[in-house]
Amino acid sequence: MSLTDILSPSDIAAALRDCQAPDSFSPKKFFQISGMSKKSSSQLKEIFRILDNDQSGFIEEDELKYFLQRFECGARVLTASETKTFLATADHDGDGKIGAEGINLFIYR
């Protein structure tokens, strides 16, 4: 399964266009534009599984900086500031990584 099986390719493209400039990435806005914020919990878990590159059950900081590239190969890498802000916001238990429930909580804030 791929992200385009769950999210509209045009919505993904629009979300990526919105954050092309460095330090312009807003996870909440990205989730809204891409359509992730409208998906069911089970769909979000599938999206999380796809984004969890090493299939560890968590998205760690090293994976998170390549977040946009999981949606499109040529997308930019998140800046260090964007990565740290994203991680701090979605890491609900402070362990330095995001579990599937962290993404769910962040999307619905």
52 marked as part of a ligand binding site? yes
34 marked as part of a ligand binding site? no
5 marked as part of a ligand binding site? no
54 marked as part of a ligand binding site? yes
- For 8-12, the CB contacts below 8 A with 24+ separation are 8/35, 11/35, 12/71, 12/72
29 marked as part of a ligand binding site? no
The binding site consists of 52, 54, 56, 58, 63, 91, 93, 95, 97
Query: From the annotation, which residues make up the binding site for Ca(2+)?
Result: 52, 54, 56, 58, 63, 91, 93, 95, 97
